[in-house]
Amino acid sequence: MQIYYILTYLSGEKQKIVDVQFEECIEEIVIKENERYKLSTFNLIDSVNSILQTLFSNDVLLRKWGNTPFTDFRKEVLEILYLEHILPQIPDIFSADKEIYKEWIFSISKDILKRIQIKHRDVLTIDKDLDPNPDTIAFKASHTYLAEILDWNKYQQSQIILPELLERKINETCLQKYPIGIHKFIDLLKKDDRDLWKTTSHVIYKIAGLVIKYYCFNKNNSDDLRSDTWIKSNEKIYNLIISGEAPDFESGLHLRNYIAKINLNNLRNIQKKEHLINNTNVTISDFAEIHVEDRDSTDYNDLSFFDIDINNEQEVKFGLINILYNKPKGVYDTLAKGIEDKLDMLIQHSEGESYREIAIKKYGVYCSPEKLKKDEDNIRQGVSRAKKTIIFRFYELLKKQLKYE
Amino acid sequence: MNKDCPYSKKDIWNYYSNALSQEEEVAMQEHILLCNTCKTKLKQLRELGRILDEENIETNHIEIERKNPIRKYLIIAASIAALILAVFLIIPTSEKTDYPIDEINGDSYSTGDSSKVDSLKIEMKLDTIY
């Protein structure tokens, strides 16, 4: 069907007229809706393609096409999508497994918090003191906290709610309850909030690294010392907070210095046992200055790369796309070491070039068809191996982060 | 490259990664439908996802892990090391020299700002502990 809709928009002072195809427009609206609310991930739709085919021949949409502004047309597409294809089956899916429903809400909330955090990047929060970068405490999507502030039952009872409206409700609540302050943070740690403890362990590990860096003369065994110190400190701090024996922290800075002190004491015990020499000139206040340097390097735009659930294949895939597309400094270099050329070809392929075109570009067009076929196969295999390698390395990197748990 | 396009590669990433508000997303969506440069970039992101989907990410990772024989020997070596360590830990030490780890009362660490003043106190405390 070749129906075109002429959209106009202003770019500077010039008005442009662009043709947009009916099918293309509907496809983008549905695909994006699926990406935003993870509809197929949570089995709320079976197949995007089959739904698209139905929508392409929908009479209402065909009638509206060409004489409705884009926002209204989009609204119409989504209404038909939800009323005819999604909402009728939602009660069955969610009543069969309430955990899936909660995970769906959690997943939407995680994106909402990411957006709130980006908007509040200049607001002073507990993150400025504790420096969990690249993770966050102030805007952490914590299962415990979200279960506390969101009314799951109310949402579940009103299932004829569109995700867009649901998102608005969650957004309103999160704006009121976030960022998390020091008292709420400690309160959640006392409740053994696993998501926040994971980040706290990461903070303890980072501070242990600073303590080792500035307190040890001998740098040869610093990795082992850091690990030993962190393991002991992590356990100690966990026990002290859970049992309520930790002091009432007045600020994030107070907690950070407490962690530094415990790390320092543990390190000194280890050093004494192993007869190592330390740098007694370094004090806890030095760690404060170091933290200031660290904080300034925060890049909130790379947030989607962290806080990835290693058991969630979609999140892992998403993290990998981020790495391949944005090539974040340091991380990309580590993961792509030795396979940079193959990954470049992978990117070229994703841009629409076939393996044959890549082979011609690389080896020239003047070779025999047999040689070209061989080169094409070599490139295909090389790219496939590089893909496997980067997936493996990415999992290893995520596991390394998880060891802080 | 469309020089009239006001959006960057990062903006397309933000759209794809759900980093935009609902209103921003709708505006961006309309723009993408009209702009071939942005459309191509978005298509590339989705294509990357499709290429990665060709690999069963989880299974692939486990397979590579299984193919790594060094890991097996490392596990055995680590087990032996843990056993030796356990034997040493069972032997009691005659001298108890540990610092009280949770000894954080007093002025040995700062509870807030004014780090300069605290730093002097910490130094004295550390010296006296040793």
**pLDDT, average across residues A318-346:** 89
**Within this chain, do residues A323 and A397 fall inside the same structural domain, yes or no?**
yes
A116 to chain B nearest CA, in Å? Answer: 9
Rounded-to-integer distance, Cα A115 and Cα A134, Å: 15
**Within this chain, do residues A210 and A264 fall inside the same structural domain, yes or no?**
yes
Least CB–CB distance from B112: residue in A168, A254, A316:
A254
Per-residue pLDDT, A143 = 92
Q: Which residues of A fall within a CB distance of 8 Å from B100?
A: 265
A247 to chain B nearest CA, in Å? Answer: 9
Per-residue pLDDT, A272 = 81
Per-residue pLDDT, A131 = 84
Chain A interface mutation, best of B111, B114, B125, B128, highest count of A Cβ atoms under 10 Å: B111
Express each pLDDT in A200-245 by its tens digit.
Answer: 998 999 888 888 888 777 667 778 888 889 999 999 999 999 999 9
Provide the chain A residues 363-392 that lie in CB contact (below 8 A) with chain B: 387-388, 391-392
Per-residue pLDDT, B67 = 54
pLDDT > 90: percent of chain A: 41
Tell me the pLDDT of chain A averaged across its residues: 83
At A109, which helix (H) or strand (E)?
Answer: helix A98-119
Three-class SS of residue A354? coil
Least CB–CB distance from A250: residue in B44, B49, B112:
B112
Check: CB of residue B9 under 8 Å from CB of residue A347: no
Rounded-to-integer distance, Cα A140 and Cα A163, Å: 21
Of the candidates A300, A330, A348, which is a domain's last residue? A300
Per-residue pLDDT, B22 = 93
Provide the chain A residues 203-232 that lie in CB contact (below 8 A) with chain B: 232
What is the Cα A140 distance to its own chain's centre?
Answer: 11
Tell me the pLDDT of chain B averaged across its residues: 70
Per-residue pLDDT, B48 = 93
How sure is the predictor about B121, in pLDDT bands with cuts at 50, 70 and 90? very low
Cβ–Cβ below 8 Å for B33 and A388? no
Domains contained in chain A, number: 4
* Structural domain includes residue A305: no
> Which comes out higher in pLDDT, residue B74 or A239?
A239
Chain B interface mutation, best of A5, A36, A391, highest count of B Cβ atoms under 10 Å: A391
**For residues A299, A305, A309 and A311, what is the CA-based torsion angle, rounded to 10 degrees?**
-160
**pLDDT, average across residues A118-133:** 87
**Bridge partner list, A11:** A14
Per-residue pLDDT, B42 = 96
How sure is the predictor about B68, in pLDDT bands with cuts at 50, 70 and 90? low
Per-residue pLDDT, A16 = 52
Highest mean pLDDT among A7-11, A54-58, A277-281, A284-288: A54-58
B97 to chain A nearest CA, in Å? Answer: 8
Per-residue pLDDT, A191 = 95
Rounded-to-integer distance, Cα A267 and Cα A204, Å: 13
Cβ–Cβ below 8 Å for A318 and B17? yes
> Which comes out higher in pLDDT, residue A84 or A307?
A84
Q: Is A244 left (phi over 0), alpha (psi -120 to 50) or beta?
A: left
A255 to chain B nearest CA, in Å? Answer: 7
Chain A interface mutation, best of B16, B26, B33, highest count of A Cβ atoms under 10 Å: B33
* Structural domain includes residue A34: yes
Range with the poorest average pLDDT among A3-12, A42-51, A164-173: A3-12
* B95 inside 8 A of chain A by CB: no
Of the candidates A251, A268, A300, which is a domain's last residue? A300
Give which of A78, A23, A79, A84 is closest to A49, Cα–Cα: A23
**pLDDT, average across residues A243-270:** 90
pLDDT at A287 over 80: no
Chain B interface mutation, best of A129, A321, A347, A353, highest count of B Cβ atoms under 10 Å: A321
Range with the poorest average pLDDT among A53-62, A86-95, A157-166, B110-119: B110-119
Per-residue pLDDT, A391 = 93
**Within this chain, do residues A174 and A199 fall inside the same structural domain, yes or no?**
no
Size of interface A-B (CB pairs under 8 A): 182
Q: Which residues of A fall within a CB distance of 8 Å from B49?
A: 317-318, 321
At A256, which helix (H) or strand (E)?
Answer: helix A252-273
**Within this chain, do residues A326 and A341 fall inside the same structural domain, yes or no?**
yes
Express each pLDDT in A167-189 by its tens digit.
Answer: 998 999 999 999 999 999 999 99
* B71 inside 8 A of chain A by CB: no
A99 to chain B nearest CA, in Å? Answer: 22
CA-nearest residue to B11 within chain A is A301
**Within this chain, do residues A26 and A81 fall inside the same structural domain, yes or no?**
yes
How sure is the predictor about B126, in pLDDT bands with cuts at 50, 70 and 90? very low
Q: Which residues of A fall within a CB distance of 8 Å from B57?
A: 313, 316-317, 320, 391
* A100 inside 8 A of chain B by CB: no
B80 to chain A nearest CA, in Å? Answer: 18
Of the candidates A133, A151, A185, which is a domain's last residue? A185
Per-residue pLDDT, A368 = 80
- Tell me which amino acid residue A141 is: A
Q: Which domain holds residue A336?
A: 310-402
Provide the chain B residues 2-61 that lie in CB contact (below 8 A) with chain A: 4, 6, 9-10, 13-22, 25-26, 29-34, 40, 43-49, 51-55, 57-58, 60-61
pLDDT at B122 over 50: no
Three-class SS of residue A149? helix
- Using only the alpha carbons of chain A, give its radius of gyration: 26
* Structural domain includes residue A13: yes
Per-residue pLDDT, B106 = 44
How sure is the predictor about A71, in pLDDT bands with cuts at 50, 70 and 90? very high
CA-nearest residue to B27 within chain A is A71
B81 to chain A nearest CA, in Å? Answer: 15
For A118, the token pair is 């980006």
Per-residue pLDDT, A290 = 57
Per-residue pLDDT, A281 = 65
Which stretches of A134-193 are DSSP H helices?
A: 143-149, 152-157, 163-177, 182-190
B72 to chain A nearest CA, in Å? Answer: 16
Per-residue pLDDT, B20 = 94
Q: Where are the domains of chain B?
A: 9-54
Per-residue pLDDT, A24 = 93
**Within this chain, do residues A296 and A193 fall inside the same structural domain, yes or no?**
yes
Rounded-to-integer distance, Cα A31 and Cα B127, Å: 64
Highest mean pLDDT among A42-51, A383-392, B95-104: A383-392
Express each pLDDT in A313-322 by its tens digit.
Answer: 888 898 899 9
